[in-house]
C-alpha cells in the first residue's frame, strides 16, 4: 500500500445519538475512516439512533464501519447471539455504511444459511482479550473460508516477540490476495498499530483523544500521524526503539520521533515491551537470525535488560564494559555494537551545578544499570562514592566491578553528602510513583539530591529533599543528554537538544 493510501480509523463509542453525530463530525477533521460502535449506545436509544443515522447523507459518514460488538469481544455491554443477529437483520445492514463488522460466529451462520448479505461490505473479525496462546494461522484459515471482503484479527500480546506472528500473517494475506487487519493489543503490540499499514494491514485504529480509546494501548490519531508519522513509513524506513519492561512510561518515542520529524529523517522509533530478551534479540534484532524483514538501525535499552543484553552483542565499547551496562545498541555491518550513554547523560547536568566533583562525597542509591553508570562517571571525576541498596547480597556484582563501599539503604543517613543520587525506579510514574528510596529524615544535611527518574518531573524523592532544604536536580536533563548521545551514535549527527527537551516537556504535560 502506498503511503497516500494509509487508512486510520477513529473508533467512536458514545452513549447517545447526539454525541455520536458530534463525534462523527469531529472525526472527519482527523481521519479517513470511522467506526461507529453501536454496542456503546444505550439499549433504549438503539432503535432511534439507527433512524437518525439513516437520515445522514452518505458523504457525511466518511468511510464508515458499523460495529455491534458483544462484551466478550470487547463490546461495552453483554449481547447474546440472538441480540446481535436481530440487530443486523433489523437495523445494521440498512445503515448507510461502507462496511459492517461481523464477529466470526455470526458471519459463519449467515454464510451457512445463505442469508442475503453483501459480503463485499463485510469485515469478519475475531478479538481475543485473554492473552493466552492463540494459533493465528488456524484462526486466519477459519476466517478465510468466508467470502468477507476484509478479515480482522485482534489479539492481546504479552511480549514484543508475539508481533512476529502478526506481521507474518499480514505477509500471508498479501501473498494470498486477501485484505487483512491484524493488530496486537496491549502495550507490547504498539509496533503492529504503527507498522501494520506499511506491511499491508487494511487499516489501523486510532482514538480521537486519550480518553476515547476503545482497545488496550490504542494510540490517538495525533500520535499515529504526528509522532510516528505513519503515512511516511515505508520499506526503506529505519526502525529504532526502546526495549525494556515496562516501557509504557518512557518519553523516548516522543523525543526521538520529534527529532526525526524536525530533521526529515526516514526513521521511526517504537516502544518494545520485552520480557524474553534472548528471543527478542535472536528473532527480531540480529540480522543473521531475525524473522522480520525491516531496516532496524538501533535500540535503546532500559530496565531490566541493561546488563543481560551484553551477552547478545558482537562488540561493546570499553566504557560500557567498565560500567557493566549497555543502554544503546547500534546495528552496523550486520553486527550489534553496545554503548552506554547514561554516564555522559548523568554527569553533564550534575557538573552544571557542581563543576568540580573531585573529593565530593557522593551517595548512589541503587544497584542496577543506571547506578553503575553514575558510579563510573563519579569515580572518573575523582569523587568519593558510597552505594546504598536494599539487599547487599544481591549487590555483590556491583562491589566486584567498583571499589566502593556498599551499605544497606534502611540504615543510611546522608548528612554531609554533597550529592545523593536516586538511581532506582522508585518514584517513576505508575506502580512506583508514590515511593521514594530515602525519606526527608535520611536526606537531612545533604547538599544536593539528584533523581534520575524523569517521569514525573517532581518525584517524591525530590519533595522529601526539598522539605529539609536540599538543592534538587531532576532526571529530565540527564534523559535529554543521554538521548542526544544515542542519536549521534545512530546517525553520526549532533542532536537538536532543544527539540528533544521541548518534546519531552510536551509529552509530560499530556500525561
pLDDT at 311: 98
Q: In the structure grid, which three cell numbers stand for residue 394, read together?
A: 544481591
pLDDT of res. 3: 45
CA distances from 487 to 257, 298, 309, 483, 500 (A): 11, 10, 20, 6, 11
Q: Give the tens place of pLDDT for each residue, 475-495.
A: 999 999 999 999 999 999 999
Q: How confident is the model at residue 322 (pLDDT cuts 50, 70, 90)?
A: very high
Q: What is the pLDDT of residue 58?
A: 64
Which tens digit of pLDDT belongs to each residue from 43-57? 999 999 999 999 887
> What CA–CA distance (Å, rounded) separates 506 from 509?
5
In this prediction, residues 248-268 reach a mean pLDDT of 96
pTM of full prediction above 0.85? yes
Check whether 256 has a pLDDT greater than 50.
Answer: yes
Q: Look at residues 14, 133, 150 and name the one whose alpha carbon lies nearest to residue 76.
A: 14
What pLDDT was estimated at residue 399?
67
Res 59: pLDDT: 61
Q: Tell me the pLDDT tens digit for each residue of 56-113.
A: 876 666 789 999 999 988 888 889 999 999 999 999 999 989 999 999 999 999 999 9
State the maximum Cα–Cα separation within the chain, in Å, rounded to a whole number: 84
CA atoms within 13 A on the CB side of 66: 21
Q: How far apart are CA 12 and CA 395, in angstroms?
A: 50
Q: Please check the confidence at residue 241 and state whether its pLDDT lies above 70.
A: yes
Average the pLDDT over each of 3-7, 75-79, 148-152, 337-341 and give the range with the smallest value.
Answer: 3-7
pLDDT in tens, 350-405: 999 999 999 999 999 998 888 999 999 999 999 999 999 998 887 777 667 788 99
Looking at per-residue pLDDT, the higher value among 462 and 30 belongs to 462
**What's the CA gap between 231 and 227, in Å, rounded?**
11
Which domains can be identified in the chain, with CATH numbers?
A: 3-234 (3.20.20.70), 241-340 (3.40.50.10860), 343-474 (3.40.50.720)
Q: What is the DSSP string of 235-264?
A: TT-EEEEEEESS-TT--HHHHHHHHHHHTT
Angstrom distance (rounded) from CA 37 to CA 24: 11
Percent share of the chain, pLDDT over 70? 97
Overall average pLDDT of the 432-444 stretch: 96
- pLDDT (mean) for 265-271: 98
- What are the two backbone dihedrals, phi and then psi, of residue 174, each rounded to the nearest 5 degrees? -60, -45
The whole-chain average pLDDT of the chain stands at 93
Say yes or no to pLDDT of 203 above 50: yes
Q: What is the pLDDT of residue 509?
A: 86
Q: Which residues are catalytic?
A: 306
Q: In this predicted structure, what is the pLDDT of residue 209? A: 82
Least confident interval from 130-134, 389-393, 431-435, 459-463 = 130-134
Q: How confident is the model at residue 2 (pLDDT cuts 50, 70, 90)?
A: very low
Amino acid at each position: 500500500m502506498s503511503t497516500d493510501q494509509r487508512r486510520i480509523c477513529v473508533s467512536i463509542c458514545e452513549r447517545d445519538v447526539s454525541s455520536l453525530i458530534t463525534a462523527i463530525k469531529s472525526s472527519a477533521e482527523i481521519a479517513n475512516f470511522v467506526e461507529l460502535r453501536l454496542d456503546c449506545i444505550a439499549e433504549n436509544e438503539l432503535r432511534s439512533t439507527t433512524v437518525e443515522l439513516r437520515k445522514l447523507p452518505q458523504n457525511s459518514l466518511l468511510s464508515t464501519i458499523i460495529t455491534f460488538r458483544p462484551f466478550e469481544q470487547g463490546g461495552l455491554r453483554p449481547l447474546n447471539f440472538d441480540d446481535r443477529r436481530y440487530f443486523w437483520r433489523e437495523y445494521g445492514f440498512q445503515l448507510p455504511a461502507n462496511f459492517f463488522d461481523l464477529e466470526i460466529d455470526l458471519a459463519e451462520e449467515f454464510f451457512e444459511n445463505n442469508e442475503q448479505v453483501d459480503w463485499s461490505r463485510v469485515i469478519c473479525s475475531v478479538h481475543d482479550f485473554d492473552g493466552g496462546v492463540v494459533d493465528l494461522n488456524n484462526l486466519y484459515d477459519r476466517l478465510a473460508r468466508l467470502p468477507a471482503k476484509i478479515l480482522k484479527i485482534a489479539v492481546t500480546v504479552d511480549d514484543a516477540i508475539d508481533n512476529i506472528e502478526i506481521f507474518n500473517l499480514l505477509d500471508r494475506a498479501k501473498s494470498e490476495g486477501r485484505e487483512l487487519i491484524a493488530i496486537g493489543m496491549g502495550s507490547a503490540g504498539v509496533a503492529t498499530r504503527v507498522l501494520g499499514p506499511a506491511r499491508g494491514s487494511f487499516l489501523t485504529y486510532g482514538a480521537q483523544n486519550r480518553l476515547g480509546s476503545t482497545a488496550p494501548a490504542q494510540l490517538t490519531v495525533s500520535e499515529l500521524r504526528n509522532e510516528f508519522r505513519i503515512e511516511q513509513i515505508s520499506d526503506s524506513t529505519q526502525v529504532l526503539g526502546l526495549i525494556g519492561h515496562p516501557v509504557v512510561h518512557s518519553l523516548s518515542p516522543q523525543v526521538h520521533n520529534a527529532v526525526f520529524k524536525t530533521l526529515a529523517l526516514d526513521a521511526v522509533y517504537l516502544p518494545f515491551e520485552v520480557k524474553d530478551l534472548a528471543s527478542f534479540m535472536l528473532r527480531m534484532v540480529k540480522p543473521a537470525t531475525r524473522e522480520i524483514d525491516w531496516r532496524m538501525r538501533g535500540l535503546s535499552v532500559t530496565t531490566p535488560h541493561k546488563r543481560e543484553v551484553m551477552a547478545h552483542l558482537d562488540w561493546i565499547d570499553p566504557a560500557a564494559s567498565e560500567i557493566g551496562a549497555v543502554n544503546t545498541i547500534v546495528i552496523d555491518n550486520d553486527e550489534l555494537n553496545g554503548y552506554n550513554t547514561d554516564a555522559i547523560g548523568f554527569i553533564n547536568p550534575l557538573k552544571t551545578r557542581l563543576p568540580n566533583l573531585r573529593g565530593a562525597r557522593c551517595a548512589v542509591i541503587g544497584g542496577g544499570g543506571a547506578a553503575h553508570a553514575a558510579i563510573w562517571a563519579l569515580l572518573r571525576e575523582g569523587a568519593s562514592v558510597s552505594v546504598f541498596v536494599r539487599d547487599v547480597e544481591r549487590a555483590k556484582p556491583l562491589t566486584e566491578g567498583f571499589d566502593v563501599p556498599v551499605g544497606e539503604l534502611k540504615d543510611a543517613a546522608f548528612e554531609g553528602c554533597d550529592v545523593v543520587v536516586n538511581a532506582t525506579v522508585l518514584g517513576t510514574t505508575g506502580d512506583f510513583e508514590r515511593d521514594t528510596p530515602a525519606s526527608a529524615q535520611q536526606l537531612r544535611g545533604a547538599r544536593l539530591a539528584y533523581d534520575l527518574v524523569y517521569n514525573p518531573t517532581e518525584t517524591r524523592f525530590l519533595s522529601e529533599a526539598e522539605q529539609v532544604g536540599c538543592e534538587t536536580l531532576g532526571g529530565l536533563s540527564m534523559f535529554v543528554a543521554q538521548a542526544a548521545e544515542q542519536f549521534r551514535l545512530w546517525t553520526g549527527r549532533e542532536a537538536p537538544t532543544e527539540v528533544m527537551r521541548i518534546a519531552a516537556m510536551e509529552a509530560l504535560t499530556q500525561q
